[in-house]
């Protein structure tokens, strides 16, 4: 294996739970415990980021791995001894003239 590229997101790793990438965007949860949210998105193509607030249902209370499978369009997670599958629906927001 070889590192081809790396990014410094500026996100404090002590505040991160788990992370996964979809289409060049790194998503970070704010915890690996119950009540987690996808809290941070880092866009690798522009080296920009935004804070998000997407609830991440964690039914078994402890996520130890997240991985996105683009063929299945799903997140796979190992959650307190259970393999859990989350279907992912992606959409693109299109702004029109006059939108802020």
pLDDT tens-digit series, residues 63-90: 888 999 999 999 999 988 889 998 988 7
Residue carrying structure tokens 């590229």: 5
Q: Which residues contact 58 (CB under 8 A, 6 or more apart)?
A: 33, 34, 35, 36, 79
- Residues of the chain under the 70 pLDDT cut: 92-100
Phi/psi of residue 55, nearest 5 degrees: -60, 140
């Amino acid at each position: 294996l070889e590192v081809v590229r790396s990014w410094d997101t500026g996100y404090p790793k002590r505040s991160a739970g788990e992370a996964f990438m979809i289409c060049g965007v790194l998503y970070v949860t704010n915890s690996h415990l119950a009540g987690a949210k996808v809290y941070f998105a880092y866009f690798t193509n522009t080296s920009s980021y935004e804070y998000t607030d997407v609830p991440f249902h964690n039914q078994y209370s402890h996520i130890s791995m997240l991985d996105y499978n683009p063929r299945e369009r799903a997140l796979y997670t190992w959650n307190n001894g259970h393999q859990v599958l989350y279907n992912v629906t992606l959409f693109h927001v299109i702004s029109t003239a006059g939108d802020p």
